[in-house]
A and B are shown apart, each in its own frame.
Chain A
Amino acid sequence: MTRPGLAVPPAPASGAAVPRRSDRTLPGRSDRRARSRMRALREQPGRLVYLTLVAVLFFSGFPLYYSFVVASRDNSALAQVPPPVLPGANLVENVERVFATVPFGTALWNSVVVSASVTASVVFFSTLAGFAFAKLEFKGAKVLLVTVVATMMVPVQLGVIPLFMLMIELEWTDTLWAVVAPGLVSAFGVFFMTQYLRGALPGSLIESARMDGASTFRIFWQIVMPAARPAAVVLGVLTFLTSWNDYFWPLIVLSSPERQTVQVALSTLSGGYVTDQSLVLTGTMLATLPLLAVFALLGKYMISGIMQGAVKG
């Protein structure tokens, strides 16, 4: 999984030959002399570096922490001077109010359905196409792959109006289909899987499977899918997050409260004429907690995914 050559766009240097920093502590990765020279070059970072990093961490975490503080407080507590910075005792009550104000449970479930379907589909179709681009020979492969890369940059969000018209045509407006369908495939996913399978799948393995009479699909199912698993986890986490956090399109195409995804429900919650801050931030916290759990479990994979093939969703 630690293959610097995957960085997008390719780093100018011959990346593959250079040991990554995280590999440096492993013995045998580079000869001892080179390692000692590197050590001399990069001495231990000073206290100032750690202090800076701690400050960065504070600013990263504080807004999320503060939303928890507000979520656990009574609205009147927010008017205090100085404002509260410690959690209060109203969390349960606020959570109950959120569920009473908007169908938040339904919204959470809708988001789970949408994100799970989108993730499964993106991972499957990306692996399928990535396998074809990485390991099969066919006419026009190069041009088509370049097309995939080019489409990663296309701001498809700007096509919302015809997309909305299309959904009316299909009678999919105000259904979860309308949100799932445009997310079923991803150019980034195809590119990401192509890059991964190129390096992770030995051509000889495929050749020998062919010798044994395996069809291409059988090779895909029995050899490629298992081999792609590490990259599939990374792509899956990134896709799930992007889909869960999607807002613009669901806001446009979903109208009834029981069809809304969690992000749209959140905006409904905050859109009232009298803004009830502790209510809104309780909702925000509830919508963010599942992601924080995913992040705590799979954050490492996200980091390696972002560092390998870097594109915003």
Chain B
Amino acid sequence: MTIAAKRTGPARTADPTGRSSPAGRRFQHLRYRLDLKASPYLYIAPFFALFAAFGLFPLAYTAWVSTHEWSLLSDEHVFVAFGNYQALLSDPYFWNALGNTMSILLLATVPQLLAALLLAHLLTLRLRGQTFWRMGMLLPNVASVVAVAVIFSQLFGRDFGLVNWVLESLGAGRIDWQSGSATSHIAIAVMVAWKWTGYNALIFLAAMQAVPRDVYEAAHLDGASRMQQLFHVTVPMIRPTIVFTVIVSTIYGLQIFAEPQLFGGGGPNGVTGGASRQFQTLTLYLYEHGFNRGFEFGYASAVAWTMFLVIVVVALLNYLFIRRIRSDS
């Protein structure tokens, strides 16, 4: 109370009317205290309110919807407990989508992060035109996923694609990238990696720049080569950043949608991820059931919530795995 009263002192002197009647003073005091106490909450309120309404609530409500036979086409929502989940787990197409997603995730993330690490290492050198190289690396990230998917679908085309032309002129045969399971996963992984490698390199670069110089000095004196420095000094020092990028890339990779959808031509083949579902991902599977085939909201919600669990589990496994590397080395 006394502190608050003391704080009001200066504010009162600034009263433009110059009034100092007891009532006026009390009002000023009250207004000041209210401003001081309520303002912070008022300022953070828009974020929390909007995030709750359009972010958190839908996600939580997904769990509720997933326990119902719930369709846009019917007003009746029948409670089925875990019925949707049972149906989901016995659908071979779901397991197919899960397998495809994991395969694309691995193919896209592992080479991408390794390349990003090496590129970041190169960028720490005393280069001429630092900004130029960084801009060049970030360039692919500016293109939208749709643009990336469309462009690479053309490059990986069977008949007129540039990739196949290069392969052919090198003496290898043409590849029907879209029709095969492995080949389509590779093509999609290339799209993801192309867009995000430079971005991740910049994040690694930021972390590498914060590593104290004397650590390298010591390594240098011990006769460590550049590459040894990278893997034995830099990587352990920036491990928190690596954990972070791995987890963010995993969360992103498990939700891949635009790349496979447009690789399949955007039409019906896009939704199923190829004629024999060879590259249908989990989000495509969700989209197929939720918005493309009779709006099965209950079932699609079960897919979403299962995906959520998969994301949490995979992110956690990643985290534990990377922590293990630390204790080993």
Contact = CB atoms under 8 A, between A and B. Distances in A.
Interface of A: 4, 7-15, 17-18, 20-22, 34, 37-39, 41-45, 49-50, 52-53, 56-57, 59-61, 63-64, 66-67, 70, 78-79, 81-83, 125-126, 128-129, 131-133, 136-138, 141, 144, 148, 151, 153-166, 168, 181-182, 184-185, 187, 190, 210-213, 215-217, 220, 241, 244-245, 247-248, 252, 263, 266-268, 270-273, 275, 277, 280-281, 284, 287-288, 291-292, 294-295, 299-300, 302-303, 306-308, 310-312
Contacts of B83: none
22 contacts: A4-B209, A7-B241, A11-B210, A12-B240, A14-B212, A18-B213, A49-B125, A60-B139, A67-B154, A125-B46, A126-B47, A153-B248, A154-B59, A156-B55, A159-B60, A161-B62, A245-B146, A248-B257, A267-B146, A280-B154, A281-B150, A287-B146
B266 interface: yes
B187 to A, nearest CB: 13
Interface of B: 10-11, 13-15, 35-37, 39-41, 43-44, 46-48, 50-51, 53-62, 65, 72, 119, 122, 124-127, 130-131, 133-140, 142-148, 150-155, 157, 159-160, 162, 165, 169, 194, 196, 198-199, 202-203, 205-207, 209-213, 216-217, 220, 237-241, 243-245, 247-248, 251-252, 254-255, 257-258, 261-262, 265-267, 270, 283, 286-287, 290-291, 297, 300-301, 304-305, 307-308, 311, 315
A300 B39 CA distance: 35
Given A49-B127, A82-B165, A161-B300, A306 B138 contact: yes
A148 B171 CA distance: 54
Given A9-B244, A45-B127, A52-B122, A60 B50 contact: no
A311 B59 CA distance: 20
B301 to A, nearest CB: 5
B131 A78 contact: no
Contact of B194 (A59, A217, A248, A288): A59
A45 B128 CA distance: 9
B258 A284 contact: no
Contacts of B287: 252
Given A4-B210, A159-B61, A295-B138, 5 more contacts: A56-B137, A64-B140, A138-B37, A306-B202, A310-B203
Contacts of A185: 46-47, 50-51
B44 A11 contact: no
Contacts of A182: 54-55
A12 B270 CA distance: 44
A181 to B, nearest CB: 6
Contacts of A59: 194
A125 B244 contact: no
Contact of B130 (A22, A78, A136, A215): A22
Contacts of A268: 266
Contacts of A15: 210
B290 A270 contact: no
A184 B286 CA distance: 25
**Would you list the 10 A-B pairs with minimal beta carbon distance, nearest first?**
A213-B14, A271-B266, A159-B58, A11-B210, A245-B144, A15-B210, A307-B206, A159-B59, A138-B40, A162-B58
A273 B266 CA distance: 9
B14 A270 contact: no
Given A129-B43, A138-B40, A60 B210 contact: no
B202 A79 contact: no
B297 A82 contact: no
